[in-house]
Homo-oligomer: A and B are copies of this chain.
């Protein structure tokens, strides 16, 4: 057997001990991880490794092989480590969700059914992004009682290795098998991981749309990820111009690369003043605006939008703008072009807002709020493994909840199914209090 299946099997086995911990033990484990990250030795270990990654990346950038922005995103410092440690402490403080009973039903006297939450088992985590992701996702795995096999980006290899060693050291100190957090290296090892559908329960993929698509194409294991973030801000006839402009600025400019940034502004004919306010603020902020013919008629200075603009996730300071004939056309545009991530309406008209909230099929549907709130921290989930645009299992920002499943436990005294039926015993199906 190649070493990858053996290591993945070992990670899976190590996860059983994590699942068996009680909530206080899992909290203590997370607190210890936070302490290790801020201990002088831990900090030095990680920052030295990060310096090596930065040195290599800068050399590659100088040779033209890596974008300078990417080099910047690699950088860790004491403040970033403190932030990661704070995130782990927040997870440590969270109520434990493993072992929660969500249904308790007496099927008959002495025949008790319970639905009890439990970890999924083993997560496969593949990410392109900053090394911060390793600590965050490892924290969520430990909080949810799951083992994880992780593979990060090539550019952050030393940083990821140092972070993993640090967390593995904490596991060992607490008498747990460090294999519960296993780090893989190289594309070939990822390919092997993605083939192990008997061992890996869920793949978490973080990175560009192309990266996620390539992961999905390689595996039969369920993949949690967001495919794309094409979010809309719809200025309804009842929109307040100043509010519209603030929201458009926040939703487009506060972090244009984020999946919850808006890509398209829709406006009603009667929301012209709101549109004008948005255009003014967005231009001041340096956003390139691309309009449909009706938008250009009102704002001749804009670039013309072409058909692919309505399906584009720019990820930069570009925004497309389209006039719609009203709520129905806005809903139709969003249904046709949205990626089911987060959609927002700006309006003072409660009836219109109600319809928008009821009818848009997306993970997040907002009224008079920025799409940028679509985030695990902002929702109060403590952290997130990512934002899911799938409809099954977990939708929107995914925290600990999305890394759990449940089992149906039935305790009896020898009852047989053939005792029940017409003319025989009847099920009582009496729901009992949960706690």
A residues engaging B (CB < 8 A)?
16, 20, 105, 107, 111, 113, 120-121, 201-202, 222, 240, 243, 246-247, 249-250, 254, 346, 353, 357-370, 372-375, 378-380, 390-393, 395-397, 405-418, 420, 427, 429
Copies in the assembly, this chain:
2
Query: A120: which of B391, B408, B411, B420 is its contact (CB, 8 Å)?
Result: B391
Q: Knowing A246-B416, A393-B392, A417-B254 touch, does A411 contact B107 (C-beta < 8 A)?
A: no
- Tell me the complex Cα distance, A396–B391, Å: 19
Q: Knowing A427-B378, A427-B380 touch, does A412 contact B254 (C-beta < 8 A)?
A: no
Residues of chain B within 8 A (CB-CB) of A427 are 378, 380
User: What 6 additional pairs, Cβ within 8 angstroms, besides A254-B418, A364-B410, A378-B427?
Assistant: A202-B392, A240-B414, A365-B409, A369-B410, A372-B418, A392-B405
- Tell me the complex Cα distance, A30–B349, Å: 35
Residues of chain B within 8 A (CB-CB) of A416 are 246-247, 249-250, 254, 370, 372
Whether A407 contacts B113 by the Cβ 8 Å rule is no
- Tell me the complex Cα distance, A203–B34, Å: 43
- Shortest distance from the beta carbon of A416 to any chain B beta carbon, whole Å: 4
Query: A417: which of B240, B359, B372, B391 is its contact (CB, 8 Å)?
Result: B372
Whether A407 contacts B362 by the Cβ 8 Å rule is yes
Residues of chain B within 8 A (CB-CB) of A120 are 391-392
Residues of chain B within 8 A (CB-CB) of A414 are 240, 243, 246-247, 346, 368-369
What are 27 A-to-B residue pairs whose CB atoms are below 8 Å?
A111-B369, A113-B380, A120-B392, A121-B361, A121-B391, A201-B391, A202-B392, A222-B222, A222-B392, A246-B414, A247-B416, A250-B416, A254-B416, A363-B407, A364-B408, A365-B407, A366-B410, A366-B412, A368-B411, A369-B411, A369-B412, A369-B414, A372-B417, A379-B408, A392-B393, A392-B405, A395-B405
Q: Knowing A359-B16, A412-B367 touch, does A395 contact B378 (C-beta < 8 A)?
A: no
* A243 nearest in chain B by CB position: B414
Whether B379 contacts A107 by the Cβ 8 Å rule is yes
Residues of chain B within 8 A (CB-CB) of A395 are 405-408
Whether A417 contacts B378 by the Cβ 8 Å rule is yes
Residues of chain B within 8 A (CB-CB) of A357 are 409, 411
Residues of chain B within 8 A (CB-CB) of A410 are 364-367, 369, 373
* A406 nearest in chain B by CB position: B395
Whether B429 contacts A380 by the Cβ 8 Å rule is yes
- Tell me the complex Cα distance, A96–B105, Å: 19
- Tell me the complex Cα distance, A373–B360, Å: 39
- Shortest distance from the beta carbon of A73 to any chain B beta carbon, whole Å: 19
- Tell me the complex Cα distance, A145–B299, Å: 43
* A83 nearest in chain B by CB position: B422
Residues of chain B within 8 A (CB-CB) of A368 are 411-415
- Tell me the complex Cα distance, A49–B373, Å: 55
Most buried by B among A120, A363, A408: A408
